[in-house]
A and B are shown apart, each in its own frame.
Chain A
Amino acid sequence: MNAPQTPHTLHFMPSAGFRARAKDVVDNPFLRQSFRGAMDFLMTKRAAQFPDAEELESLRTLGESIRQYNLAKLPDLLEQLEANLVRNGIQVHWAETPDEANEIILGICKHHEAKLMVKGKSMVSEEIELNHAAEAAGIGALESDMGEYIVQLAGEKPSHIIMPAIHKTKQEIAQLFADKVEGVDYTDNVDALIQIGRNVLRQKFLEADIGLSGVNFAVAETGTLCLVENEGNGRMCTTAPPVHIAITGIEKIVEKLEHVPPLLSLLTRSATGQNISTYFNMISSPRKPGEKDGPSEVHLVLLDNGRSQAYADEQLRKTLQCIRCGACMNHCPVYTRIGGHAYGTTYPGPIGKIISPHMLGLEATSGLVTASSLCGACGEVCPVKIPIPELLMRLREEAFSKPHDHPAMVGQGAGYSGLISAVWRGWAFVYRSPALYRLTSWLGSRFRWLMPSRQGAWTSVRVPLKPAPKRLRDMLKERG
């Protein structure tokens, strides 16, 4: 463990606690129904892409091995990527923290006296809250992915990493456009709404000084940035403005170009159930002499923000295998009940629960790690086989164990409670001893009538637990 760092705090972190936010959604039948419908839709689409169980399983195994291979060589690959990008004319920047990343990006903007930055979909830019920082610096930052645009207009954050506005109905969006977009009358016709967005944003692509994008895969051997998208706004952002800035986490690297096709296939099929996205955009250099368009400057910002902490531990490193498809949230019964905003983190759902503690510290996220029944649906669909339930159990251990001197992560022990630890020690003391177990379980059935009718949270929606009058071992004895 390196020198302890202060974890990043999200400006948008809602004030109420996780449980309260979750309860708000759970108590809203309309939202419940809407999330359920959306997740059903995405699950069905994914399933249709993988009719052959053997193909799926072997492709997931291949995807896992590609990610693990590349993570094992990560520092070397970062250096190789940097060398090849620089050779290709792309400028490379490194940021340990969100603040550093914002400083780099806004520095480039200021250098170009930029007034407007158009943004393609980038969860890393959400992670560093770039829009917030740009606004503070007097630079316009406009989201151009339709979902992100809607969410930004509404003053919200994405509630899903692939479908940012999945929490909104078309009627809400219709009202939002009518209220916020100049000269627009209410219409809930989806084609018409998309046309409104298209027309507004086309003008912005034309005017923008800076285009910002994320990166899905960065290829070390060729020095190439790959972007996956359907709308074309990613291509617009990376082609139309004179300067393109890409930002990515340090883990999104593959050594070889041949690693890309299997991961791309896993990504689009798992995410939205498409056999491929409409566009796969591979950028290897700024505009070359003689070329007539494309940015004359391309920058890549490589962000750590806690990833090196996950990297340092063999088990936690698996978190970094993620290719951000969102299938884990689509299949998560918890996400389906509470949606993305309740998590209060940039990345919601199962992946959010295991990655956010590295970005924000366990102090801010120890409530999240308990928000799983460990049903395993996430691990089952993960295209690169991240053992998410196993990692959640590990994070629970990190959160609830007594603070010690060599923690694997910032905030270790943040959820420590002397009382709860004592309860578990007592539990182990009883259950490791057959005699004590026999005694306590006998007392349980003997005095079952003493069981309280209110048993904390259990009886909020269930009848109280009551031991049977006779234990199995008693019944076996009686039977002889």
Chain B
Amino acid sequence: MSARDRILGKLKQKMPSTVALAPDVASWYATHRIAESGADKAQRFRHFIELAHAEVYAVSRGGWLQKLYEVLAAKQIGKLLVSPGTPHGQRAASELPALGIACPAYDAPIESWKEAMFHDTPAGFTRARGAIAETGTLILWPDADEPRLMSLVPPVHIVLLDAANIYNTFYEAMQAEGWSNGLPTNALLISGPSKTADIQQTLAYGAHGPKELVVLMIEENLQ
């Protein structure tokens, strides 16, 4: 008999005969979390993610590139990793180099350029799929265009977020978008720059992931 069969056998032998009542998650959220306007959610999102040390800038749909440039210039970053397969990545790649910022594209499997990713990529630029107001959280679903390491290895991570996609809670986000019907290879919640308090409970940023997290938040037509 395999370990699997032995473990399952032991558990099945002692499984309770009565079925426990299914937990009512929906009604807990219905009674404990109020619906909020888009503007309120944007404000709450900003409040919490700023508390976690992220920088947030309100931008317009047309004007975010200018802010992106200003942020990079202020941080004296001359190189930004972008996705060649996304509209925002393409826009950055077409306009920033003229302003003196190189925009290498994440266009090849990591194996071919891992060293450069770890040692020579000061910033990465991705979009967020959405966000969560109550915890100040960005939702990212990395994919073939915006791979997983883009938001992790570069010391600065800049994120483009449409505030229309902010949910009140994590629960609301997964329910509204039907996550249980299928999740991507990797789904991420990001709530600030990387940090640790492992040395004498003293908070320090930039433990292993980005030291800085910058959110460019498009706040237009919020309900």
Contacts and interface: CB of A to CB of B under 8 A. Distances in A.
Asked whether any CB of A lies within 8 Å of a CB of B in the complex, the reply is yes
Interface of A: 2, 38, 41-42, 55, 58-59, 62, 65-66, 68-69, 72-76, 78-79, 94-96, 100, 144-147, 150, 163-166, 168-170, 173, 190-191, 193-195, 197-198, 201-203, 205-206, 221-222, 224, 230-233, 235-236, 239-240, 250, 256-262, 264-265, 272, 275-288, 290-294, 302, 304, 308, 311-314
B186 A283 contact: yes
B188 A96 contact: no
A150 B200 CA distance: 12
Contacts of A250: 7, 11
B73 interface: no
Given A231-B195, A256-B180, A293-B109, A198 B207 contact: yes
Contact of B48 (A66, A264, A275, A312): A275
Contact of B106 (A68, A236, A276, A292): A292
Contacts of B195: 230-231, 278
A94 to B, nearest CB: 4
A232 B4 contact: no
Contact of A281 (B149, B186, B199): B186
A54 B170 CA distance: 21
Contacts of A265: 170
A74 B144 contact: no
Interface string B169-200: 11100110001101111111111111111111
B108 to A, nearest CB: 7
Nearest to B109: A292
B7 to A, nearest CB: 5
B175 to A, nearest CB: 7
B189 A69 contact: no
Size range of the chain B interface in the assembly = 35 or more
B137 A201 contact: no
A304 B7 contact: yes
A293 B110 contact: yes
B34 interface: no
Nearest to B171: A261
Interface string B12-28: 11111011111111101
B99 interface: no
10 contacts: A59-B28, A72-B20, A144-B208, A146-B196, A173-B199, A194-B199, A235-B152, A282-B183, A292-B144, A314-B16
A368 to B, nearest CB: 25
B201 interface: yes
B149 A230 contact: no
Given A62-B23, A72-B15, 7 more contacts: A66-B23, A146-B198, A147-B198, A239-B149, A278-B52, A282-B188, A292-B108
Given A173-B199, A284-B187, A230 B28 contact: no
A224 B136 CA distance: 23
A280 B20 CA distance: 28
A290 B144 contact: yes
B75 interface: no
Contacts of B12: 75
B85 to A, nearest CB: 10
